[in-house]
Structure 1
């Protein structure tokens, strides 16, 4: 059972080692500041990766890939990989603890975007690029996990997005995923390059454009400046960010279908139209309350960039929106939980689960006054069954439980309750900034206690792996 997951992990670490070697060479050429840290990390990752590949190479001939292997591979990939990828920060001249190095890396790979680093404007460019690359890799990893793994693992209603039965069965994967992975990766790269070009045209430097494009498409939110997007104070840059953040929160499988079958597919997608309509509606509501008689377009831009950033779980900020008033603090806290579409890079609850919750609630309401009614509930042309409903409800119940326990645990570390509450929400939803003076859009996570950071790390991983993919490993029956 363990052979295939550990072999895949070994190959993943070998790939990480290769990327770190490239960064070591680039850093030695460009800045000559932290190339030793990248080199040490590359050697460590390479040795462990080669060791795992050598030990489990015989598993390469095992064609069976079952549910347990899927859960183990998912958990290993999202815990061991970030741990090994954190050493360039730890061995750098940043002089940060291992806790902070791991926090920065897992926040990046899970596309959360919370940071413990300060003075980003004067940081080694290669470390800034490493943060962006980690988010970018995490973003495409999230898409592939949502398309290939989560429906197979039947987590949180994701089985609705299962590929054709000829491609996947209940007990294993029986398809060549290479073509699908290639198409998604090509689309991801193309959108990233397009975003970088648009940022550059709008006024960013080439380095800033590259970093921000990777963070935008990953809906991660790492910036090269402490002031995030507010550093640029440029409406054109804001709207480029808005468009590509929204694009990254839409299903990537929808894009592939639209390329093959035409743009009409977008209108027929069960998630995308509602998400876009809700997004624009939030812009208009926010702008209506914020507008103080000045230029409406400027107000709309200020609202749109921050609302889109939070609702897509990206985490960029153009300003401290907490200064807009108490109503907006509650508004942005509520937006933290929405998220984008399934099969995108965004986190949080996601639109399709809210749609399913509405469908099941409506069906139950009708049964209350008409117990004998016969009704077929469908979503996206797929008939909803009892298992899907239980899966979604179990996810939502566990999500609320994890959020509540996380907030309580953070409060026990000494955080004030508003900070603990928003920190738990932003970590579990993979958004990035929280609320309050400490971790708000103008704040930073560096001053939090180490114990609080480890609690947040756990919440980030729980949210990114849709809760069950990680928690199932703690069930004794799983290992029998």
Structure 2
């Protein structure tokens, strides 16, 4: 919060004061918590504590992150402040703010910082916490997340340090690349932070479409793709070379899905009368943005026709790789589900046949398969319930379903005229905004983490 305070000092005194007040409140509460719980006996001793710590930490950070929006010259409600903050920290990218082109630089930087901090927080949670808590099949990565050289990291902080270095390196490389394509430093650092976090917040109302630059779109497309890969993978490449790429099945699957989706979208746009090169350009950028759950846009793709809208809607549910900043269901779960369905079909016509289910040369035990199936059931059920609830507020079917789909996938824009890529969520009813906020948090916390804490059995000794 002190960084945007310095940025706004002089030019935007009220916003600088808002950040300073927010920093004082946050630092004061944080200091009291530090003093109260510095005793070594207060620690994450078991899985139960891990669930509560994960959920409560995210809720607390969202609340304090909303303070600058409340105190600033934006003059927005608590609902809108929480929406913008949760969207930032969950790297969703949906926004209720307009007039970004003329907004105070400190506020624009704060939005980007929220996504950048949230992005690395998501990775650490997904790699260090969720596998230990066996959430949604993430236990498959309990070994991989700490084994990049054949010698596991002895401590979680060593793993976090490696992830942090990769994260910083990608951000620096993206910033330099964007500056070389013509962006000024401020726009470059903001878009780099939100690209690497696969967040999608921009400094412009028209998003990346404002720049109308093939070079800028190409750079962001490349870095969106890189950010949707597991960050531990880059450490593996450094230590093990090409062997790391050959062994990671989810990366191969993700790149294939991305390529197929781009080709399908390009062919569809050409069939609708779009120039071939233009179709390839807009399809490659916007498909990558949605599949990686980034949320940038260069055009209103919800007007491309029914096939394109249907394709984008399905991509909301795919997402990137486990251990990346991307959201949604994740590639590895789809791989396991398809392998399970294939095995079921084989044993249907040949009941005596024994089919061994494997993922990345490891046996998928019944507990892991059950966790993946249960996660998908909870995901679809949550999507259906929240979509119906949003419809009850008066929003149309496509806007309601796409708003929840993008929220749970942490993808950014919805579809349709109300919440599409050419608009924002400012006009949505407050009740619907809180439902979308719930969807963003549930999706970011991998659902199971949040639902476990509200079970009555969780609170019983």
TM-score of the aligned structures, taking structure 2 as reference length = 0.95
1:273 and 2:273 correspond:
no
Query: In 1, Cα distance between the equivalents of 2:247 and 2:11?
Result: 48
The alpha-carbon distance between structure 1 residues 83 and 63, as it changes in their structure 2 partners (threshold 3 A), is closer
The corresponding residue for 1:24 is 5
Query: In 2, Cα distance between the equivalents of 1:211 and 1:51?
Result: 32
Which stretch of the first structure deviates more once superposed, 94-103 or 28-37?
28-37
Write the mapping of 1:95-174 to structure 2, written as runs, cut at 5 A: 95-163=75-143
The corresponding residue for 1:326 is 306
1:135-188 superposed Cα distances (whole Å, 9 cap, x missing partner): 000000111111101101101110000027999xxxxx9942121111110110
1:50 and 2:6 correspond:
no
The alpha-carbon distance between structure 1 residues 370 and 314, as it changes in their structure 2 partners (threshold 3 A), is same
1:365-412 superposed Cα distances (whole Å, 9 cap, x missing partner): 122122222232110111011101110000000000000001000011
Which stretch of the first structure deviates more once superposed, 237-246 or 320-329?
320-329
Runs of 4+ in 1 over 4 A off after TM superposition: 61-64, 164-167, 292-295
Query: In 2, Cα distance between the equivalents of 1:456 and 1:287?
Result: 31
The corresponding residue for 1:41 is 22
The alpha-carbon distance between structure 1 residues 64 and 469, as it changes in their structure 2 partners (threshold 3 A), is closer
Query: In 2, Cα distance between the equivalents of 1:113 and 1:299?
Result: 24
Which stretch of the first structure deviates more once superposed, 392-401 or 178-187?
178-187
1:194 and 2:173 correspond:
yes
Query: In 1, Cα distance between the equivalents of 2:383 and 2:52?
Result: 24
The corresponding residue for 1:260 is 239
Query: In 2, Cα distance between the equivalents of 1:165 and 1:297?
Result: 40
1:363 and 2:346 correspond:
no
1:79-101 superposed Cα distances (whole Å, 9 cap, x missing partner): 11011011101100001001101
CA RMSD in angstroms comes to 1.7
DSSP 3-state at the match of 1:291: helix
The corresponding residue for 2:217 is 238
Alignment counterpart, residue 158 of structure 2, candidates 179, 188, 201: 179
Write the mapping of 1:303-342 to structure 2, written as runs, cut at 5 A: 303-342=283-322
1:217 and 2:196 correspond:
yes
Query: In 2, Cα distance between the equivalents of 1:461 and 1:166?
Result: 26
The alpha-carbon distance between structure 1 residues 458 and 97, as it changes in their structure 2 partners (threshold 3 A), is same
The alpha-carbon distance between structure 1 residues 131 and 155, as it changes in their structure 2 partners (threshold 3 A), is same
The alpha-carbon distance between structure 1 residues 164 and 263, as it changes in their structure 2 partners (threshold 3 A), is closer
Say if 2:128 and 2:145, in contact at 8 Å, map to a contact too: no
1:25, CA displacement in angstroms? 3.1
Say if 2:347 and 2:355, in contact at 8 Å, map to a contact too: no
Extract unaligned runs of 5+ from structure 2: none
- How many residue pairs get aligned? The number is 455
Say if 1:317 and 1:441, in contact at 8 Å, map to a contact too: yes
Query: In 1, Cα distance between the equivalents of 2:301 and 2:44?
Result: 51
Query: In 1, Cα distance between the equivalents of 2:185 and 2:458?
Result: 49
Alignment counterpart, residue 450 of structure 1, candidates 430, 435, 447: 430
DSSP 3-state at the match of 1:359: helix
The alpha-carbon distance between structure 1 residues 328 and 164, as it changes in their structure 2 partners (threshold 3 A), is closer
Extract unaligned runs of 5+ from structure 1: 1-19, 168-172
Query: In 2, Cα distance between the equivalents of 1:165 and 1:248?
Result: 16
1:32, CA displacement in angstroms? 2.9
Query: In 1, Cα distance between the equivalents of 2:146 and 2:215?
Result: 46
1:195-226 superposed Cα distances (whole Å, 9 cap, x missing partner): 01111111211111110000100000000000
The corresponding residue for 2:399 is 419
Query: In 2, Cα distance between the equivalents of 1:164 and 1:214?
Result: 26
1:247-277 superposed Cα distances (whole Å, 9 cap, x missing partner): 0000111111111011331132110011112
Query: In 2, Cα distance between the equivalents of 1:163 and 1:438?
Result: 44
Alignment counterpart, residue 300 of structure 1, candidates 276, 280, 285: 280
The corresponding residue for 1:206 is 185
The corresponding residue for 1:461 is 441
Query: In 1, Cα distance between the equivalents of 2:106 and 2:337?
Result: 44
Write the mapping of 1:399-418 to structure 2, written as runs, cut at 5 A: 399-418=379-398
Query: In 1, Cα distance between the equivalents of 2:154 and 2:345?
Result: 41
DSSP 3-state at the match of 1:437: coil
Say if 1:33 and 1:124, in contact at 8 Å, map to a contact too: no
The corresponding residue for 1:379 is 359
Say if 1:23 and 1:35, in contact at 8 Å, map to a contact too: yes
